[in-house]
Protein backbone atom coordinates (compact mmCIF):
# COMPACT_ATOMS: atom_id res chain seq x y z
CA UNK A 1 0.00 0.00 0.00
CA UNK A 2 2.85 2.36 0.74
CA UNK A 3 4.21 1.91 -2.78
CA UNK A 4 0.81 2.84 -4.20
CA UNK A 5 0.75 6.05 -2.16
CA UNK A 6 4.29 6.88 -3.22
CA UNK A 7 3.39 6.30 -6.87
CA UNK A 8 0.33 8.54 -6.53
CA UNK A 9 2.47 11.29 -4.99
CA UNK A 10 5.14 10.93 -7.68
CA UNK A 11 2.49 11.04 -10.43
CA UNK A 12 1.00 14.19 -8.91
CA UNK A 13 4.43 15.85 -8.80
CA UNK A 14 5.11 14.78 -12.39
CA UNK A 15 1.80 16.29 -13.48
CA UNK A 16 2.54 19.53 -11.66
CA UNK A 17 6.00 19.82 -13.20
CA UNK A 18 4.62 19.14 -16.68
CA UNK A 19 2.03 21.90 -16.23
CA UNK A 20 4.72 24.29 -15.03
CA UNK A 21 6.97 23.40 -17.98
CA UNK A 22 4.09 24.08 -20.37
CA UNK A 23 3.34 27.45 -18.73
CA UNK A 24 7.00 28.49 -18.72
CA UNK A 25 7.41 27.41 -22.34
CA UNK A 26 4.56 29.71 -23.29
CA UNK A 27 6.15 32.53 -21.30
CA UNK A 28 9.51 31.89 -22.94
CA UNK A 29 8.03 32.32 -26.38
CA UNK A 30 6.86 35.80 -25.46
CA UNK A 31 9.82 36.82 -23.27
CA UNK A 32 11.95 39.69 -24.36
CA UNK A 33 15.46 40.37 -23.25
CA UNK A 34 18.38 38.03 -22.82
CA UNK A 35 18.18 37.99 -19.03
CA UNK A 36 14.53 36.89 -19.05
CA UNK A 37 15.19 34.25 -21.66
CA UNK A 38 18.18 32.92 -19.74
CA UNK A 39 16.23 32.73 -16.47
CA UNK A 40 13.37 30.91 -18.15
CA UNK A 41 15.74 28.52 -19.93
CA UNK A 42 17.52 27.75 -16.65
CA UNK A 43 14.20 27.15 -14.89
CA UNK A 44 12.98 24.90 -17.69
CA UNK A 45 16.20 22.87 -17.59
CA UNK A 46 15.83 22.46 -13.82
CA UNK A 47 12.22 21.32 -14.15
CA UNK A 48 13.09 18.89 -16.93
CA UNK A 49 15.78 17.36 -14.72
CA UNK A 50 13.29 17.05 -11.85
CA UNK A 51 10.86 15.39 -14.23
CA UNK A 52 13.47 12.85 -15.35
CA UNK A 53 14.36 12.09 -11.72
CA UNK A 54 10.72 11.54 -10.77
CA UNK A 55 10.08 9.36 -13.81
CA UNK A 56 13.08 7.23 -12.89
CA UNK A 57 11.81 6.92 -9.30
CA UNK A 58 8.38 5.90 -10.58
CA UNK A 59 9.89 3.35 -12.95
CA UNK A 60 11.96 1.88 -10.13
CA UNK A 61 8.80 1.39 -8.03
CA UNK A 62 6.72 -0.08 -10.85
- Indicate if the alpha-carbon torsion angle 51, 52, 53, 57 is positive or negative: positive
| Model confidence pLDDT, tens digit, residues 30-58 | 767 777 788 888 999 999 999 999 999 99
| Model confidence pLDDT, tens digit, residues 11-31 | 999 999 999 999 988 887 776
pTM (2 decimals)? 0.82
CA angle 2, 53, 50 (to 5 degrees): 110
CA distance 58 to 42: 24
Residues present in the chain in total: 62
CA distance 44 to 29: 12
Amino acid sequence: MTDARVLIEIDARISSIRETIQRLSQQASSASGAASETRLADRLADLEQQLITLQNERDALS
